[in-house]
Structure 1
Amino acid sequence: MSTLVLTRVRPWGAPSTDLVLRDGVIASVAPVGGRLPDGAEVVDGAGLLALPGFVNAHAHVDKSWWGQPWVSYGGEATTQGRIAHERAERDRYGIPSTAGAVAVLREFVRHGTTATRTHVDVDLGVGLRGVAHVREAAQELGGAIDVSIVAFPQDGVVRRPGVLDLLDQAAAAGATHVGGIDPASIDRDPVAQLDGLFAIAERRGVGLDIHLHDRGELGAFQVELIVERTRRAGLGGRVTIAHGFALGELPPARQDDLLDDLRDAGVSWATVAPVGTAPLPWRGMRSRGIPVGLGTDGIRDLWSPFGDGDVLRVALGFARLHGLRTDDDLTDAVRLATSSAAGFVGRAVHDLVEGAPADVVLVDAENAPDALVRVPPRSLVVSGGRIVTRDGKVLV
């Protein structure tokens, strides 16, 4: 078994300790100065802050042109407009491709992300090619990042006959989740879309992760439909609503009712905390134990020229959007990007504790709030007990 010891590191800002990583898991959290395992590789953390590996709970790694020539923004700035523009232009830029997915996954690793849930387009134009490319990219990185795939019908479901069959094939072939998108405004038949998606989830034993951009009461109505179908299917803990901009726009009493429903049904929430959207009722979600994950969304693609793959920077955006100031709240924002997101990548635990995956990020910061507001470079990234980034250089 391979053993790596990170000495004199400060988990979550606690006093210095030694982390013993053996065979891909944290074997022990030991006092500094104790006897080190024979034959272990030893790295002196020199008092750096230790955090768990970051978890990107909402990405689109199949469509990025990171590291490739600049592509100017075009098309209409609406959901339908972005879909149409992407469909018209993607072949021109070689999307999807294994090389493109490798480039953006390496950037994730450089910033300390060790696990991600990524949506991968599945439609009548690309079929399942994107899924194959992303799997090949993950294999090329040799386990440096754990990649969970959502088979995502970006162009709609029931309005594109044959897409449900493709989603079913992807689920049968190992996708961990099936996606959906705006059942009301894209397909204009929310019941049919959700019936089709939930049928696949029940038949294949996979989860669901549904993009919901619709605002106001139209969005709230679809949240209620998703909650009701989740209860009926007994899929609590396996359904996620992504974006869900409507929730932050509703009156407080309406929000509270929906939050109670989400909690009772076991539906989680993923957000990229975009500028200009209404803050989520985050404290109400936290008090109810509703899982919230943070993600980068698309990065430099045909939807947006923005993004750099740094989930810690997304957590900073979340903190600013929600007006967080206290140390406890700022630390919780970092937890959203790390330990609290374990369930989004199929883990029971993801933290700096014995038995957890040996995913560790070292940064030069006093504590978690300091790391959040300064977003310092990642000094060392360990994934599965193996050093994958050192001083900003990706080693895989």
Structure 2
Amino acid sequence: MSVTYDVGGVRLPRPFRIQKFAHFGFNVDDIDKSGEFYEGALGFARTDMIDLQRVPAIAKGFAPGVDGRLVFTRFSGDHHALIYMHRDAAAFMGGGDEPDLTTNQITWQVGSLREIVEAERYLLDRNVKIVRVGRDMPGGNWHVYFTDPDGHVFELSYGMEQIGWSGHSRPSALHKPWFGVPELPRISETEEIDKAEAAGVDLAAGHRYTGTPGPTVDVDGTLLPRPFSIQALGPVGVFSRVLDQALEFYTDGLGFTVTEEVTVHGLPVYFLRAAHEHHSLVLAPIELRERLGWPDRTTNMYLGVQVGSYRQLRAAITHLLGQGYERVRVPAEMHTGIDYAAHFADPSGHRIQIYYAMEHVGWDGRPRPAELRAKMEEPWPESIESDLVGEPFMGPVR
């Protein structure tokens, strides 16, 4: 009889359940150019920035001249969805054995703090390399970091700090990271904040995003500084040097389900899901990177950014081309489950996949048959017929 675990009263094969793609990190070549792309062109809002050169416990031994800035950005109420740091700083921090491991972290959300604690024990029992366990600051989320068979850093996360209507992040006086496995149960965040306020902490002293100056455009009824708004982050794709091991790790180890397998340039590409979206993780052999003609400086295949509509997707393409960013053509099979998608290169060569909607998988667990999918027309029409839907975004957009 196989072992099962009680997760919130439901018996599961693991002591946790991945709910969704949570956030992501890149190691980049240039912090300022990356900021121009991710914050200026795409519209992620900066919530916090740490200079690791100024953190005594970390900076000791840091090579002089290394850019130690770690930038946190968001598109919704979550404190951060996308972070980036310089690849030299990441290497100093132990960013992986291979120089092309530039995915700083790939993070998945679980449903409770108990799942974080029990996941650490479960992963140790499976001889998975644990990077660290505790609570991150800024962001306030509890975590367990570990590596996949290729050395990509994965994170299970719970309890991300929420940015409210005023746009302020948590003040630095509350940046008290927790190292190690927490004892359960813990006090709630409400009690934490009440105690801080009673101790005289100014709750409005955190960083506040002040918006992007310049012209505005009507985006479905809201005036915004660019002709689209980000609705969701993901999926994420990675190239693997040990594909069979990685596939077993993600499915048997972490609970992902293979939705579909396609062939691109004679090699297999696997689309895996955590919940009801067609895929949240894409996995392919490292040999495909060269066959696609993509740079060998990163094992990242692409990172998805969902915008609000097909109209916004077309506008995003025009906007990014107007900003001078390179559009990368990819085989349509690389975005199976998504009808229209455009790919751009960031200043470090990472691929960003921009799309507006994705297929969902129903109760029977089967994706739409390939012959029933709409085909992407070239050139793209001004409007299309589609029954695809995006993940709901409650807004407001900013």
- Please confirm whether the aligned pair reaches a TM-score higher than 0.5, indicating the same fold: no
Larger % of helix: which?
Answer: 1
Q: TM-score, normalised on structure 1?
A: 0.29
Considering fraction of residues, name the structure with more strand: 2
TM-score (norm 2): 0.28
